[in-house]
A and B are shown apart, each in its own frame.
Chain A
Amino acid sequence: MSRKFDETVHFKINAEKDNYIKDVLENVYESLTEKGYNPVNQLVGYIISGDPAYITSYNDARNQIKKIDRNELVEELLTKYMEK
């Protein structure tokens, strides 16, 4: 066996959820861009404050992001960022 027993093993048990979060983030990002906002600033504002007013209602972006738990959103972003 090449993998050591004390190594953390990552299981993708909820790939569907990951994909859903990715799809929503992409739509929100595009919608904010189309409406002339800086999408990163707006998303950071939403994650930090929890206020949906940061996200445009255009393209249903606000409703979509509200359906994702903010903790899960941050977990997903951190996980992706730390992936080698």
Chain B
Amino acid sequence: MEKIIINGGKKLSGSVKVSGSKNAVLPIIIASILAEGESVINDVPDLTDVHILKDILTELGAKVDFKNNIFRIDTKGINTWEASYESINKMRASVLVMGPLLAKFGRARVAMPGGCAIGTRPIDLHLKGFESLGAKISLEQGFVSATSEKGLTAGKIYLDFPSVGATENIMMAAVLAEGTTTIENAAEEPEIVDLANFLNSMGGNVKGAGTNVIKITGVKKLKGAEHTVIPDRIEAGTYLIAGAVTGSCITIENVISHHIKPVIAKLRDCGIEIEENDSSLTIKKIDGIKATDIKTMPYPGFPTDMQSVFSVLMCIAEGTSIVTETVFENRFMHIDELKRMGANVKIEGKSSVIEGVDKLSGCQVKATDLRAGAALILAGLISEGKTEVFDVYHIFRGYENIIEKFQKLGADIVHEKY
């Protein structure tokens, strides 16, 4: 068992470098299944999820090497189109293997993912997309199968909701399909653009990524490619808010500020002065924190992944703020833990109403999911006394070297096994 111990109250200083994006790198590594030959992915964060994916791809028959943030993968040896329950159960994103396997072998069989901590996240939109490409879908004994013996053909797909996973899975399936596929109401997240960049550098023909209409013209085959992953916008936002909440003028390096515009805008609404440089952000001045309302939305709206972390800032803001979650149905689990630390919060349906308090106090808390865990670390940084965060394995799924990075910024934080 592991826990993170934080002695709160220390100001942060200096700079922190953001790692490659977790949400971009997982589909990019999976997309390499489509290539004939070796792909090299740079700036890959050393995260639990990446190691799980490495194991899954090895199980499928790929040769994989991951060191010094460089992921090399040769997918020539992949000889199965089935992803086991164990694989899917370890990491939800592994359901994205379905699109590439279907494109490559004309069939794919993966275990149906169950619900997860933050909501049900069904894959019906993924399956709707595969059907539009001519695949036959069947469900049996907890597995979903997609088959298209004559190969996939282009289709026109309207997504009922701009699902990131569905957009990615359909893009990867369509890249080898015959003809031009159109995805309407597609997700517009930067991670979709990064995946399109990788597919195109492998020889694919994907246009419109980053808008709500994506067109994919199928090609006969793809080659291996080298790619550098975009910086993690959620990690960048987390450290920016860490600076704001602790009243510290710190610099966040390796950032594409365009990707966290809503977070920067909301911090400015709170009265925090932020300077945007070429690839860094610096907090220049914090003169009190004013309460502000936020509402999570698909990109380019305020990211749901930043909701819990931003809520910590609102816990000590002057006034009342309303935080509304519209993307996932069960994403207020951190609130009960924050209340134990002295936060004044009420949950009303899809919103939490936060009345700012002067201070929080450290205690033992539990990370219920990845972003909730990050929120509790930030709460620990500003609490009086000692905070112990348990179930920290969630945090290591998404934040590379988070302990070392906060230590470098001057935080009193350690990771302990017990």
Asked if A59 is an interface residue, CB under 8 A from chain B, the answer is: no
Interface size on B, residues (CB 8 A): 22
B90 contacts partner chain A, Cβ-Cβ < 8 Å: no
Q: Mark A51-84, 1 if CB is under 8 A from B, else 0.
A: 1111011001011001000000000000000000
Question: Is the Cβ of A38 less than 8 Å from the Cβ of B200?
Answer: yes
By a CB distance below 8 angstroms, the chain B residues around A52 are 256, 258
Q: Which residues of A contact B190 (CB under 8 A)?
A: 51, 53
Say which residue of A37, A41, A49 sits within 8 Å of B210 (CB atoms).
A49
Task: Please report the total number of A residues contacting B with Cβ < 8 Å.
Answer: 21
Partner pick for A49 among B193, B200, B201, B226, CB 8 A cutoff: B193
**In the complex, A51 Cα to B208 Cα: how many Å?**
11
Asked if A63 contacts B279 (CB within 8 A), the reply is yes
Contact flag A41-B211 (CB < 8 Å), given A53-B230, A54-B193, A57-B228: no
Residues from chain B with Cβ under 8 Å of A51 in the complex: 190, 193, 210, 258-259
User: Which of B197, B207, B226, B228 makes the CB contact (< 8 A) with A44?
Assistant: B207
Name the interface residues of B229-271: CB closer than 8 Å to any CB of A. 230, 256, 258-259
CA distance A41 to B209 in the complex (A): 11
**A42 adjacent to chain B (CB < 8 Å):** yes
Contact B226 A36 (CB under 8 A): yes
How many Å from the CB of A13 to the closest CB on chain B? Answer: 28
In the complex, which residues of chain A have a beta carbon less than 8 angstroms from the beta carbon of B226? 36
Q: Which residue of B lies closest to A51 (CB)?
A: B210
Measured in the bound complex, the distance between the Cα atoms of B204 and A42 in whole Å is 13
Say whether B278 faces chain A, with CB atoms less than 8 Å apart. Answer: yes
Verify A41–B193 contact, CB threshold 8 A.
Answer: no
Q: A37-B201, A38-B200 are in contact. Are A63 and B278 (CB under 8 A)?
A: yes
Interface positions, chain B 203-219, Cβ under 8 Å from A, are 207-211
- State how many angstroms separate the Cβ of A59 from the closest Cβ of chain B: 13
Q: Which residues of A (18-67) have their CB < 8 Å from a CB of B? A: 35-38, 41-42, 44-45, 48-54, 56-57, 60, 62-63, 66
**Chain A residues, CB < 8 A from B194:** 53
Q: Which residue of B lies closest to A49 (CB)?
A: B210
Q: How far is the CA of A44 from the CA of B210 in the complex (A)?
A: 11
CA distance A57 to B399 in the complex (A): 23
Could you say which of B210, B256, B258 contacts A48, with CB atoms under 8 Å apart? B210
Contact for A45 among B188, B210, B278, CB less than 8 A: B210
B60 located at the interface, meaning its Cβ lies under 8 Å from any Cβ of chain A in the complex: no
**Chain B residue with the shortest CB-CB distance to A58:** B228
**Is the pair A41, B200 in contact by a Cβ cutoff of 8 Å?**
yes
**Chain A residues within 8 Å of B376, by CB:** none
Chain A contacts for B259, CB-based, 8 A:
51, 53
- Assess the A48–B279 pair: CB atoms within 8 A: no
Query: Which of A36, A41, A53, A60 lies in contact with B256, CB distance below 8 A?
Result: A53
Q: Are B211 and A49 in contact (CB under 8 A)?
A: yes
Q: In the complex, are the beta carbons of A45 and B258 less than 8 A apart? A: no
Given the contacts A36-B225, A45-B193, A50 and B210 also touching, CB distance less than 8 Å: yes
Q: Which residues of B contact A42 (CB under 8 A)?
A: 197, 200
CB distance from B167 to the nearest CB of A (A): 14
A45 touches B196 (CB 8 A): yes
B35 to chain A, nearest CB (A): 13
Bound together, the chains give a CA A63 to CA B279 distance in angstroms of 7
Complex interface: chain A residues within 8 A of B197 (CB): 37, 42, 53-54
Enumerate 30 A-B pairs (CB-CB under 8 Å) in ascending A order: A36-B201, A37-B197, A37-B200, A37-B201, A38-B200, A44-B207, A45-B193, A45-B196, A45-B208, A45-B209, A48-B210, A49-B209, A49-B210, A49-B211, A50-B210, A51-B190, A51-B210, A52-B258, A53-B190, A53-B193, A53-B194, A53-B210, A53-B230, A53-B256, A53-B259, A54-B210, A57-B228, A57-B279, A63-B279, A66-B258
List residues of chain B with CB under 8 Å of any chain A CB. 188, 190, 193-194, 196-197, 200-201, 207-211, 225-226, 228, 230, 256, 258-259, 278-279
Q: 9 other contacts beyond A49-B209, A49-B210, A51-B258, with CB at 8 A cut-off?
A: A36-B201, A38-B200, A41-B200, A51-B259, A53-B194, A57-B279, A60-B278, A62-B256, A66-B258
Residues of A within 8 A of B (CB): 35-38, 41-42, 44-45, 48-54, 56-57, 60, 62-63, 66
